[in-house]
């Protein structure tokens, strides 16, 4: 029996050492390697070198090299509206008679697109094409640092500077500076949009958010369960729950949620929607799990709206029936409200 005790002691010491080792690996992986987990810019393979261009989809565009505050150069695309587009599916805009191309561009909304954490801006051109041809929006397609052909390495601080560079470009553009700016963000791009709007409340007209989250530390336990115990080490915060209340009530939000999202649980979008409703003075509770919301407006007089897609997953919500109709109706409602305010002598964006 006594000879067996050293073996037990050795086993206990070995188990303790293994546990300590695994804990150290977990700590190190999350703390030092989290940028590689959160920003997989090389996935799918080729994403850092093979970047589709809008002309491959029949669209004229301007290739931009925007420079962030810290000097990092960003590879972006601008699709500026012209009055006459050759594509047969182009939607006509009433009241454009007598305008030249710059005047027409200045009369249309400008959408700034912030993509998810995989791929590059070129993979989102089919989405930009719908904004451009079907809704006749100007479109600025951003590509974060470390993604596609942009310089640098991605991180929260850097991407915040990247988004600001995009907004600053639009607000200083000779034709686009007076247009209503709408931020469109998918997944982590939604967090980028919320942060940018919170820091520029007078420059942003509206937000369109798809399958985004309350914050990254609150997402870790479900997105990466093995690292759940170490979520407190997540230094890439993207704390949208804290930033969204800083976005003023005059900025409406359209929230588009895939109920079957396997990456960002539905509860995150519902949590953000509840913050929107509180901001706008709602009393009723938001829909709960198991009770599909369908299309849920904010209080009377608000343009904000929450729309669920029962078959939508993280990456295919944007192709679900009704997705683009919801966006088109939202943008049209903004245009109508701005036209009404202009008719009443009010500044349309305030």
Whether 172 is catalytic = no
Measured distance CA(79)–CA(66) in Å, rounded: 15
* 3-state SS, residue 164: helix
Q: Decide the pairing of beta strands 206-210 and 295-297.
A: unpaired
Cis peptide preceding 44, ω within 30 of 0: yes
Token duo for residue 100: 């030249």
CB atoms within 10 A of CB 42: 16
> Contacts from 14-17 at CB under 8 Å and sequence distance 24+?
none
Angle separating helix axes 156-171 and 188-199, nearest 10 degrees: 60
Whether 187 is catalytic = yes
* Catalytic residue of the set 257, 261, 268, 304: 261
Whether 314 is catalytic = yes
Can you give the C-alpha Rg of the chain in angstroms?
Answer: 23
* Catalytic residue of the set 153, 168, 314, 316: 314
* Phi, psi (degrees; rounded to nearest 5) at 75: -95, 110
Cα distances (Å, whole numbers) of residue 218 to 10, 234, 263, 264, 277? 38, 10, 12, 10, 21
* Catalytic residue of the set 150, 187, 198, 257: 187
Q: Which residues are catalytic?
A: 187, 261, 314
């Amino acid at each position: 029996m006594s000879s067996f005790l050293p073996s037990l002691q050795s086993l206990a010491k070995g188990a303790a050492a293994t546990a300590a080792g695994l804990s150290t690996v977990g700590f190190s992986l999350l703390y030092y390697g989290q940028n590689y987990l959160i920003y997989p810019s090389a996935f799918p393979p080729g994403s850092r070198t093979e970047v589709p261009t809008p002309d491959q989809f029949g669209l004229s565009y301007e290739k931009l090299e925007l420079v962030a505050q810290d000097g990092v150069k960003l590879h972006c695309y601008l699709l500026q509206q012209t009055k006459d587009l050759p594509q047969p599916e182009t939607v006509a805009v009433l009241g454009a008679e007598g305008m030249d191309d710059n005047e027409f561009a200045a009369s249309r909304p400008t959408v700034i697109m912030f993509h998810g954490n995989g791929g590059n801006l070129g993979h989102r051109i089919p989405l930009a094409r719908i904004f451009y041809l079907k809704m006749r929006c100007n479109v600025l397609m951003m590509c974060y640092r470390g993604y596609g052909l942009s310089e640098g390495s991605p991180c929260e601080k850097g991407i915040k500077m990247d988004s600001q560079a995009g907004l600053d470009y639009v607000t200083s553009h000779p034709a686009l500076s007076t247009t209503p700016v709408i931020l469109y963000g998918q997944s982590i791009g939604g967090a980028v949009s919320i942060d940018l709007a919170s820091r520029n409340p007078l420059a942003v007209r509206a937000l369109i958010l798809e399958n985004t989250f309350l914050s990254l530390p609150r997402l870790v336990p479900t997105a990466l369960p093995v690292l759940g115990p170490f979520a407190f080490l997540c230094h890439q915060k993207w704390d949208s729950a804290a930033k969204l209340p800083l976005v003023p009530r005059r900025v409406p939000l359209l929230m588009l949620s895939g109920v079957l999202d396997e990456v960002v649980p539905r509860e995150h979008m519902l949590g953000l929607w509840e913050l929107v409703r509180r901001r706008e003075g709602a009393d009723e509770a938001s829909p709960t799990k198991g009770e599909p919301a369908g299309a849920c407006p904010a209080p009377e007089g608000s343009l904000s709206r929450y729309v669920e897609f029962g078959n939508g997953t993280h990456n295919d919500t944007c192709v679900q029936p009704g997705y683009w109709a919801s966006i088109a109706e939202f943008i049209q409602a903004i245009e109508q409200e701005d036209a009404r305010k202009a008719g009443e002598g009010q500044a349309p964006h305030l």
